[in-house]
Amino acid sequence: MQKYNLKIIFITFIILTTFITVNSSAVYAAPAGEGAFNYQNLIKDIDYADLLGEELDLMEELTPEDNQPFLYQRLGELRLKIAAYNYSRYRSDSSDSRSLFKALEYSASAAELLKDSDQSWLVLGMVLSEFKSEKEMLEKAGQAFIQAAEINPANGQAQQLLAQNLMEQGRFWSAVEQYKNLFNKDLSMLTGTNISNLTLAYIADGRMEAGLNYLNELQKKDPNNFYINTSLAVLYQNLGYRDVSELIIETLMLNEDRLTSNQKLYIENLLVKWKGAE
């Protein structure tokens, strides 16, 4: 049976999770993929007081017997914007729990009113995902992302966030399958955060050999992808193939002028931590 250096595996977890944490906000605010949805665009140049006023006026027009779908459509659109506004406030200040709960209330209502809108389910999933310590909320977030993806199969952001949500639920192999499905549909999703999450899922699920095989296949499709190559180095290092791991890193460093400052720092952190784990 293959023996693993548990200290190196633990250090790898720390490095990967740090990288993911630093870059995870990009998944929400500026996702990959052409035409990706950015919830902040919903509230660009809006007056929040006017939104609330328009919602109140519309509520006064509606009656329980009302059969005017366009009014409910408009109410859903307003509530989606109100949810996005409050969610944006919370993302700017995570201590602002009042804004988070308002975002939850309004996004749930928007999803109910706009059942066929992938954007409404996407925002609801984002809001629910903020309740990291509550299993039921994370499960509901996953269901919202699935709903968004089913309404619009081209919504790569919903599929990306679903994979991240599965990681947060500890469903690592399901996350692996979701990331693989995502990459098969769109190679532009081969971002640093996604590949690092995928690698972490393989390690957490104890299937590093499977991860190595899959990343080697990905590397053939995108041989110069920095994050695929560093993830391969990570897996080789964790499996005890130190020479192969170091060769990959040395090859990357030969093209140092092509690396960003963050990429150089990432490599340096890997080398320092690995050396300290020997």
pLDDT for 190-211, tens place per residue?
A: 888 899 899 999 998 999 999 9
In a domain? residue 214: yes
Residue 72 near residue 63, CB atoms below 8 Å: no
| Per-residue confidence (pLDDT) for residue 187, from 0 to 100 | 86
Assess whether 275 and 216 both reside in one domain. Answer: yes
In this prediction, residue 146 has a pLDDT band, given cuts at 50, 70 and 90, of very high
In a domain, 11, yes or no: yes
Per-residue pLDDT tens over the stretch 44-100? 888 999 999 999 999 888 876 667 788 899 999 999 999 999 999 999 999 999 999
| Same domain for 25 and 78 | no
Q: Positive or negative CA dihedral for 195, 38, 79, 118?
A: negative
SS3 content of the chain, % helix, strand, coil (to 5): 75, 0, 25
Looking at the domain assignment, is residue 54 inside a domain?
yes
Identify the domain containing residue 196 by its residue range. 1-29+189-278
| Measured distance CA(136)–CA(153) in Å, rounded | 25
Instruction: Identify the domain boundary among 154, 172, 199.
Output: 154
Do 14 and 43 belong together in one domain? no
Residues 109, 199 share a domain: no
149 in any annotated domain? yes
Structure tokens at 6: 């548990």
Question: Which of 45 and 167 is assigned the larger pLDDT?
Answer: 167
pLDDT of residue 262: 85
0.85 surpassed by pTM: no
Residues 5 and 111 occupy one common structural domain: no
Which pLDDT value is given to residue 1? 38
35 is written with which tokens? 């035409």
Is 172 inside a domain boundary?
no
User: For residues 124 and 196, which has the higher predicted lDDT (pLDDT)?
Assistant: 124
Domain end position, chosen among 136, 154, 172: 154
Asked if the structure places residue 181 within a domain, the reply is no
Same domain, 23 and 67: no
Q: How many domains does one find in the chain?
A: 2
Question: What's 78's domain CATH number?
Answer: 1.25.40.10
Domain contains 58: yes
Task: Give me the DSSP letters along 34-92.
Answer: TT---GGGGGTT--HHHHHHHHHHHHHH--TT---HHHHHHHHHHHHHHHHHHHHHHHH
Separation between Cα atoms, residue 146 and residue 152, nearest integer Å: 10
In this structure, are 66 and 4 located in the same domain? no
Same domain? For 67 and 140 the reply is yes
- Tell me, yes or no, whether 219 and 121 share the same domain: no
pLDDT at 6 > cutoff 80? no
pLDDT confidence of 266, banded at 50, 70, 90?
confident
143 and 43 assigned to the same domain: yes
Q: Is the domain of 25 the same as that of 45?
A: no
Span 98-127, mean pLDDT?
96
Min mean pLDDT across 16-20, 178-182, 190-194, 240-244 is at 16-20
Q: Does the pLDDT of residue 237 top 50, yes or no?
A: yes
> Do 145 and 71 belong together in one domain?
yes
